[in-house]
Amino acid sequence: MTVSTIHLTRPETDVALLTLDHPERSANILSSAVLDELEERLNEVDGDTSVRGLVIISGKPGMFIAGADIREFAASFDMGEEKTIAASRRGQQLFMRLATARYVTVAAIDGICLGGGAELATWCDRRIMTTGPKTQLGFPEVKLGLFPGWGGTARVPRMIGLYNAIEMITGGESIDDQAAWKMGLADDIVSPELLLESAVRMVREEQQTKAYLADRQRWSAPLPGNDVEMGFLGVTASGYIRQQTKGQYPAPEAALETMLETAGMDIEQACEKEAETMASLFGSSVNRSLINVFLLTERNKKDGGVDGHYDAEAIDSVCVIGSGIMGAGIAAANVKRQVSVALADASDDALDAGIANVLEEVAYNRQTKSADPDRMLHYTRFLRRAADQWSGVDLVVEAIVENAEVKRQLYAKIEPQLDEQTILASNTSTIPITQLAAGLKRPENFCGLHFFNPVRRMKLVEVIRGEATSDETVARAVTHAKRIGKMPIVLRDGPGFLVNRLLFPYMNEAIQLVQNGVEIAHIDRVAKRFGMPMGPIELYDMVGLDTALYAGRVMLEAFPDRIVASPILPALVKRGWLGAKSGQGFYMHQGKRKRGRLQVNPEFQDIASQYVRPTDIPSDEQIESRLFVPMLLEATRVLEEELVRDPRDVDLGLIFGIGFPPFRGGLLHWADQVGADKLLADCETMQEIATRYQPTEMLSAMAKNGRQFYPK
C-alpha cells in the first residue's frame, strides 16, 4: 500500500492547503513518489476554479522539508546524462507551477527547510517563517557535491540578488528567520502557533494588492546588472571559493559559474542551463564520495552500538578525572549539552586550569568571537569540582596520565565507592581495555571511551569493549556520546583501537620516506594534495614527538613485522624537540608562518643526514601509494579480525577522527574507486622495497574476484 504524504484540505472556501506529513518518517523528504503526489495535488487544486490561494505547510512541528531523497540519488548515480537532465527539468517544471498558478502561493515554514524543500519554498510567491528554534532555510547541496537543481540557481538570485544567492548557494550554510527576512527570502515572521492563520491572511492581502504578480514578472526576467559588476563579483567569489575548496570540491564553483552565466537569461533558459550543468556533477566521483559520507553519518545516527535493541538508561551526571587537555575537553562537551559534570585532578593547580579552560570554552560565542557572560552564567551551574562523593554519578571518565599502573591504582580506589550501575570508562589512546579492567570488581561496567584531540572539533568517539564489557554498558556509552554531539563507533579491543592503528602505518611510512631522502615538506605536500588536512610529518609535530615515540613503541611491540623503528624520532626527542608544544620539531613552531607555511627546522637536516640512506627518489604517485596503501592494508587486517562491527565504521572513523578527505568518501570508498587489482599491483611493486607491503589475503581475494568493500 502506498502511503500518502501530502494532504489537501480547505481551511477557507477559496484557500487550498497542502499539508506535508510523511506518516512513517520523522522528516518530510522529497522522494520521487512525493513529487508525484505533489503533481496530483496541484492538478486537483488547478482543476478547482474557486481556489484563489494555496498554502503549503508541514504537519510536523519543527520540520518543513529536509530536502530531496539522498538514497534515491545514490541509487541512480549511473542513470546517465539524459535522465539526469530530465529529472532536474521535471522538478523545475513542477515547482515552477507554484510561480505561475492562477492563484497566489504561500510557503508556511516552521523548522527545517533545506535543499529541495528550500527550492519548493522559493518557487512560491511568498514565504512566512516562524520564530521556532529549529526554523532555518538553506541550500546545503554543495556539501554533497551538487547544487540546487530544481531551479534554485535560477530563482534565488532573481529573488534576493546575485551576491546573496552566491553566498547562500556556494557556501551551503543555512540562515535563520531574521537573516531570511533581511534578505527578502521571508516576507513575514510569526510564532509557530500563528503560522497557518498568518499564511491565510497573506493570501488575502496578496489577492487585494496583487503585488505578487509584479514580482512574478521581475523574477522571471534576466537580472539587472552590468558586466563590470558581474566580472568583479565573479573574480572575488571564485578566489574565495578556491581558497576554501583547494580545488578539491567542484560543486561551489560550478554553482557560481552557472549563476553568473544565467544571470542575463530569462528564467526558462536559466533553468535549462542549470539542468545541463547539474548533469556534470551528478554521479561524479566527488558527488558519490560525499553522498557516501552523508549515508555513513545517517547510519551512525541510527546505530545503537549493539545488536538488538537496548533502552539505555540515561546518563545525567558525569565525573571526569584528569583535567588536562582531554579531560577539560570532555567535560566541556558534556557541560555544553547541559549534563552535570564534576571535574577532578590529583593536582589543585591542574584542576584550577581545567575548570578555567572548560568555562572559557563553553562561554565562547562563535558569532561575536568572544566570551559571553550570559553563556558563562548559564553553563556554570553544570560544572563543579568533584568532592570525594561518588554516589549518584552515572559515568566516570578517566583521562589521567597514560600509564596502566597509575590508572589501575585509581580504579582500585574509586570503584568500591561507585554505584552498582555506574559506568567507568577510560580515555586511553593505547592501553588495551581488557588489561586495564584486570582487578576490577565489575569489569562489565568498564569500557574505553576514546575521544580525539581537540575534543570540541573532532566528532569521533571510539567506544571500546573489553572482554567483559556488557552490552548494556556499550549501549549506554553510545547513547551518551550521541547526546553530547559525538559520533561513536564500537570496536573490539586491540592495540591502537581503530584510528591510531590505521594512522601508524601511514606515519611510519612517512618517516621511512624521510630516510629514503625525500624532503619532509614534500611528503606533507603530497599528503595534502591527496586531501589530508595536514601532512604526516606536521601531524607528528602536532601530536608531540615524545607521545608519538611512546605510542610507536606500543605499535611496534604489537606489529613488529610491519612497523619499523626509526632512529630519527628518538634523536629529535633527545634534543628536547617535541614538536608544536616545545616550539620546535620537524618544523619551527615559534613566530609567524611565512605565507601560511611552516618553516622546516633548519637543524633538522643535519640530524636526518646521519640516518638518510638515499634511494631513487620516488615520484609523487609512488609517495602517495607508500602513504595510503599500507593504511589500506592495515584496514583489511582490521576487517579480517572483525575489530569493527561494520566495514563502514572504518571510513567514518578516519573521516571524523583524523580528517581523511570527505571528497574521497573514506579509505575503503577510495580503495573501491582505485580498484583492488591496482592496489594489489602497487603492493607487489612495493614488496621489492620491504615485506611490510605484502598484500593481505583479503585484498588478494578481492582483486581476484572483482569484489569491492562497498557492494556494487
Residues near ligand NAI (CB under 6 A) = 321-327, 345-347, 350, 399-402, 406, 410, 427-429, 451, 453
Please write down the HEC assignment for all residues of 473-520.
HHHHHHHHHHHCCCEEEEEECCCCCCHHHHHHHHHHHHHHHHHCCCCH
Whole-number minimum distance, CB 321 to ligand NAI, in Å?
5
φ/ψ region of 249 (left if φ > 0, alpha if ψ in -120 to 50, else beta) reads beta
Q: Are 479 and 312 in contact (CB under 8 A)?
A: yes
| Closer residue to ligand NAI (CB): 305 or 327 | 327
| Closer residue to ligand NAI (CB): 256 or 320 | 320
φ/ψ region of 524 (left if φ > 0, alpha if ψ in -120 to 50, else beta) reads alpha
| Closer residue to ligand NAI (CB): 327 or 618 | 327
Single out the residue of 649, 642, 633 nearest to residue 697, CA to CA.
Answer: 633
Give the whole-angstrom CA distance, residue 148 versus residue 573.
Answer: 52
| Closer residue to ligand NAI (CB): 275 or 436 | 436
| Closer residue to ligand NAI (CB): 42 or 414 | 414
Whole-number minimum distance, CB 525 to ligand NAI, in Å?
25
Give the whole-angstrom CA distance, residue 357 versus residue 363.
Answer: 10
Q: Which residue is nearest to ligand NAI (CB)?
A: 324
Q: How far is CA 650 from CA 292, 642, 682, 711, in A?
A: 13, 11, 21, 15
Whole-number minimum distance, CB 573 to ligand NAI, in Å?
16
Whole-number minimum distance, CB 429 to ligand NAI, in Å?
4
Single out the residue of 475, 173, 428, 423 nearest to residue 318, CA to CA.
Answer: 423
Whole-number minimum distance, CB 341 to ligand NAI, in Å?
15
Whole-number minimum distance, CB 503 to ligand NAI, in Å?
12
Whole-number minimum distance, CB 127 to ligand NAI, in Å?
46
Give the whole-angstrom CA distance, residue 309 versus residue 78.
Answer: 36
| CB-CB neighbours of 256 under 10 Å | 23
Give the whole-angstrom CA distance, residue 64 versus residue 21.
Answer: 9
Q: Are 636 and 562 in contact (CB under 8 A)?
A: no
Q: Of residues 22, 450, 480, 669, which has the active-site annotation?
A: 450
Whole-number minimum distance, CB 348 to ligand NAI, in Å?
9
Cell numbers at 39, concatenated: 503533481
- Under DSSP, the state recorded for 579 is B
| Closer residue to ligand NAI (CB): 86 or 406 | 406
Single out the residue of 148, 203, 160 nearest to residue 185, CA to CA.
Answer: 160
Whole-number minimum distance, CB 322 to ligand NAI, in Å?
3
Single out the residue of 447, 537, 551 nearest to residue 496, CA to CA.
Answer: 551
Cis? peptide before 533, omega within 30° of 0: no
| CB-CB neighbours of 374 under 10 Å | 9
| Closer residue to ligand NAI (CB): 481 or 702 | 481
Whole-number minimum distance, CB 463 to ligand NAI, in Å?
14
Give the whole-angstrom CA distance, residue 350 versus residue 516.
Answer: 43
> Which helix (H) or strand (E) segment is 465 a member of?
strand 460-465
The 10 Å CB-count burial string (b at 16+, else e) for 291-318 is bbbbbbeeebeebbbbeeebebeebebb
Give the whole-angstrom CA distance, residue 624 versus residue 409.
Answer: 44
| Closer residue to ligand NAI (CB): 451 or 656 | 451
Collapsing DSSP to helix, strand or coil, 199 comes out as: helix
Q: Are 19 and 57 in contact (CB under 8 A)?
A: yes
Whole-number minimum distance, CB 299 to ligand NAI, in Å?
24
1: buried, middle or exposed (CB in 10 Å: 19+, 13-18, 0-12)?
A: exposed
Does 450 participate in catalysis according to the annotation? yes
Pairing of strands 446-451, 423-426: parallel
CA atoms within 13 A on the CB side of 171: 13
| Closer residue to ligand NAI (CB): 348 or 642 | 348
Please write down the HEC assignment for all residues of 351-375.
HHHHHHHHHHHHHEECCCCEECHHH
| Closer residue to ligand NAI (CB): 129 or 359 | 359
Nearby residues of 92 by Cβ (< 8 Å), 6 or more positions away: 149, 150, 151, 154, 271, 274, 275
| Closer residue to ligand NAI (CB): 402 or 472 | 402
| Closer residue to ligand NAI (CB): 187 or 345 | 345
Single out the residue of 163, 124, 122 nearest to residue 139, CA to CA.
Answer: 122
Whole-number minimum distance, CB 406 to ligand NAI, in Å?
5
The residues assigned a catalytic role are 450
